[in-house]
Amino acid sequence: MNRVHRIGRGSPSGEVAVSFDPADQRRCRNLLAWFERGAEPGATLLVDDWRLCAGSDPGLAQSIRWITSTHDTEVVITAGAPNDVPEHLRSFVRLGFLALHGLSGFTKATAWKGDWSSVPVGAGPRGDRAVVELTHLADGRWRTGSHLHTTTPETFRSLVLGLMTTHSPKLFQAVLVDAHDSAAFAGLASAPHVRAHHRGVATDPALAEQISEMLLAESQRRLDVVGITWTVFDHRGFDQVLPQLLVCVTGLEEILAAHPGFAATLAGVAEDAGKSGMQLLLDAPHDLAPHRVPDCTVPADLDDVAAALPELMRRPEPVPGFLALHGVPDGFDRQRTWRLRPVREQFRVAAGTDEHGQPVGIDIKSSSLQDGMGPHGEVLGPAGRRAELHRAVLLGQMLWHSPDDLQLVLVDFHGTGAFPGLDNAPHVHGSYRGMSPAIAGRVAEALRGEHERRTGILAAGHHRTTWDYREARSRGAPLDPLPELLVCVDGVRGLLEAHPEFVDVLTTFGREGRTYGQHLLLSDTAPAGELREFVRYGFELTAGGWVRRIGRSVENLALPPDLGEVARSLPRAMQKVEPLHDQLLPPPLHEWPSLTLDELGSISPEHRAVPLGMRDVPFEHRVEVFFAAFGEGGHGAIVGKPGSGRTTALRTLTESITRTFGSTTGFHLADGPLYGRPDARHVVVTASTWAEVPEFIRDDLAWGVELKLADPSWSIVDARRQAHLPDRPGTGLCTYFKQQVRIATS
């Protein structure tokens, strides 16, 4: 028995005794040395895909030359084209189908990368690849599909199988029409690309009529889908729902002889190929298919591969891990993954794979500005499952974009752990879990301020969008980074119900986000009605698993199985090379462990003001010193319920006045009810309610602090903010700015 000993990658197309990957140099060299000594009678050495094998072993050509010149040993070399192989070895070349297509083995994840432009079918007379152009420029102006004909059954089969091998069924499907029941489509008909296989058409008038009606109806349906779009190729994008449909007809002359009207059907299909995406492949020359498939030598293993590949195409493949999906098996490397990519590739990353093993992507860029699918999306599913989708989407974006390009704000309203591990990444500008009313108000105000900040930055530089701004920066303009901002809100319906102030904020982002680089990813068990009009893409957990929806396009989505592990490791790896940036908001003042007067610094007496504490300024993403400012006159008041810190605040004020002015001369500081009007320029009182503050102070109030009140409705600042004010001594609202303050201790 002739035993085949193979050097090659992937699964062999025929039976072999042993097979070694060319990267396994030790075993490959041992095998070659064995053949150099004479091997065994009848042994065959198969070098499967010369370009691949020679790339791993620069001395391979010399070894093969020695083997073939000294021993009566059979050597077979497969290659994509004979001229891939050194001239003195070309007599051993057997054109290999997979090598012809640049493949060492078939998996759906690696093979289905075609983009419907061209496909090789064999080797030409000079040993180079014979390639079929699937499209052409009509009148030199726009791209349209080519209608093709072949002159040999071998090139017909090689073309169809080549398309199946290199294109996913999402991009290419076929209708097979056979005049009889020939072997023209043997093996091919079982591929997942085949929508229908019609046999015996030449002898069945009813079947011919049925096929005609189906083809014309399909052409019209496609024209309706494409609508006013220039061509099907312009229509194709993330939301494409029209694969190319190749109508493959074998026995054409016999069909037309039996059914002359079938020519009109083919003419109807051919007329609108540019828009419908339906193309013809005929097995004989015809005016309807003017583009000829070049005559060539097809791969010797064509029939073997045709018998084996369709089964592999239908076989499920494991979902790749996160790093394999993103093509970075060696892990995160900022020099590689954070480099600047072409605009089309920016913010376009894979989230998982479809049922055919092909990446299913997300692109948060605006569909109208940069051929994306955004800028805003939603995630619909149970609370316990949404975290896995968030990880898939956000980890991918962080892997390929630096914090100078992308910032995240994570809002987990219900505190259910929607973004576990992600808040350790340097991209995270703010992370809020289980938001209290006080925190919610600050975050809403901070997002308003961020929108205002971006508006001002673009206006100052006369930039139309953040994309224009970044382009100017890439050309050398002295501009600070202005990353895209992705605001992720989990439990958005509950957030809007509990905190209506977010409706206006998120609506502003929804309406103007594509201009100012602000993106929303809203998640809940059902859509957020007020914001649904801004959603352009979505992920939904169905009974069959996750799906991605964009317009009419619905893609199945299988997530990488190792997202939990990656969420623990990847953000920390990024943090080692990129420090955490400034947060959207500093910690709330009431959570500060302490605040003393010494930390506030001093101020010149000429300012007629004294430091008293810190003031929260969420609109500007900062805190600043809060001053009791008296000016040329005016009075002050510290109002709060017993235990709210009134006396401590007055003590701090007294100390601050003394430090600033040297004494309290000119001030009357009263801790409690005040009767009469003191003879002092500046009067400050403490009280439980504003009603207890003398009228002359309220009428000439230079500053005031409203600490926690017994009843929020008594507030003169903001009853809602007063109700949500933490019940911590020294925490209150300032009357002028209506913002939270924290009074220092002396």
> Which residues carry a binding-site annotation for ATP?
381-388
C-alpha 598: how far from chain center = 49
Q: What angle do CA 250, 253, 258 make, to 5 degrees?
A: 105
Closest of 690, 744, 695, 686 to residue 722, by C-alpha: 690
Residue 239 makes CB contacts below 8 A (sequence gap 6+) with 373, 550, 551, 552, 553
Residue 373 makes CB contacts below 8 A (sequence gap 6+) with 237, 238, 239, 362, 363, 364, 365, 367, 536, 537, 550
Residues paired with 547 in a beta bridge:
540, 556
**CB of 375 within 8 A of CB of 531?**
no
Residue 566 makes CB contacts below 8 A (sequence gap 6+) with 322, 323, 391, 395, 560
The token pair that represents 461 in the structure block? 């530089």
Annotated binding site: 381-388
Give, for 555, the enclosing helix (H) or strand (E): strand 553-557
Give the C-alpha separation, 234 to 277, whole Å: 11
Place of tokens 């929804």: 510
C-alpha 20: how far from chain center = 38
Radius of gyration of the chain measured on its C-alpha atoms:
36
The token pair that represents 463 in the structure block? 């930039």
**Which amino acid is present at 96?**
G
Give the C-alpha separation, 295 to 123, whole Å: 9
* Contacts by 91-96, CB closer than 8 A, 24 or more apart: 92/64, 92/68, 93/50, 94/299, 94/300, 94/301, 95/122, 95/123, 95/297, 95/298, 95/299, 95/300, 96/13, 96/48, 96/49, 96/299, 96/300, 96/301
Residue 244 makes CB contacts below 8 A (sequence gap 6+) with 116, 134, 145, 167, 171, 172, 173, 232, 277, 278, 279
C-alpha 496: how far from chain center = 26
Residues paired with 613 in a beta bridge:
626, 743
- Angular region, 525: left φ>0, alpha ψ -120 to 50, beta rest: alpha
C-alpha distances out from residue 145 to 245, 271, 661, Å = 10, 11, 86
The token pair that represents 176 in the structure block? 């097979």
Give, for 209, the enclosing helix (H) or strand (E): helix 205-226
- The values of phi and psi at residue 506, to 5°, are -70, -30
